[in-house]
Structure 1
Amino acid sequence: MDAGAVAVLAGIAAFGGLLAVLAGAYGLGQARRVRRTGVRVEALVKRPPESASDDPALPRPLLQFATEDDRVMEVVCPVAPSRRRPLNDGDRVLVRYDPADPRTVVVHGLERPGLERAFITTGALITLLSLALIAFAVATR
């Protein structure tokens, strides 16, 4: 493969890596913002309707809570249940919601920033490796 083709493919990979970094940073920022400025309420865990889940092995439950202005919200839980915290029907959990958009919630004690950090790390590595490949391809021309 010639140096020009390697540079183009590395550029595309660098762009993808940059998108992964941005997606991870956005997710971490959103969760941090809602934890800092969100309204804390208790939510009722409800079993999702049978047809709502694509993966019947790990359905995400619904969270039902009342906002400050007495609107009843029902949102899909942003994290999947785990063995440590199964989120059974009828359980109560603490959540923080964004008053500007109550559908944006963070479940207290179930924050999993590892996925966002993995996106950032993997994206940064892909971007750096791609830039090194581009530099190598340009140097060998």
Structure 2
Amino acid sequence: MPDAAVATVAGFTVVSGAVAMLTGIAGLQGIHRLRRVGVEAWALVKQAGPATDDGPARPLLQYETRDGLVMQVRSPAPASRRHPLADGSLVRVRYDPDDPRELLLQGRERTTLEYVLVGAGAAFILLGAGLLLG
């Protein structure tokens, strides 16, 4: 049986791993749900403000829902060299018909980040369990 300090560290490790894993799973479920039930639309990229401390500025995407409502939301993914989001260009998005503010930039889903969270969470859970059992 490990001492109290090791058990405390192991407990925090397991809980942290579980939070990371659940965050990744929730993100993957959201992406898969939008791929399945989302409505495809073309969005106009509009210039965003200057970059912030959080990272590069995310441009605004303006699109029309099938109900005729014009939406303007921040891009869920920032522009990059590989995928520039130039002002005035058109990109394909999938939006949730129940909540059109929730959208997915097609081809820029960033599932790798979600899989990394799931994997890191599983590793932390196993590490914490090893500390408790070892």
Aligned to 2:29: 29
- Consecutive unaligned residues of structure 2, counting only runs of 5 or more, are none
Following superposition, the deviation at residue 111 of structure 1 comes to 1.6
Q: Superposition pairs for residues 51-66 of structure 1, below 5 Å?
A: 53-55=51-53, 58-66=56-64
Hey, what does 1:75 align to over in structure 2? 73
Max Rg structure: 1
SS at match of 2:102: strand
Alignment of 1:94-109 (within 5 A): 94-109=92-107
- Residue 124 of structure 2 corresponds to 126
**Structure 2 length normalisation: TM-score?**
0.93
- The 4+ residue runs of structure 1 with deviation greater than 3 A are none
* Percent identical: 44
Q: Tell me which residue corresponds to 2:9.
A: 9
* C-alpha RMSD of matched pairs (Å): 1.5
Q: Who is 1:139 aligned against?
A: none
Which shows bigger deviation, 54-63 or 21-30?
Answer: 54-63
Distance 2:49 2:129 in 1: 47
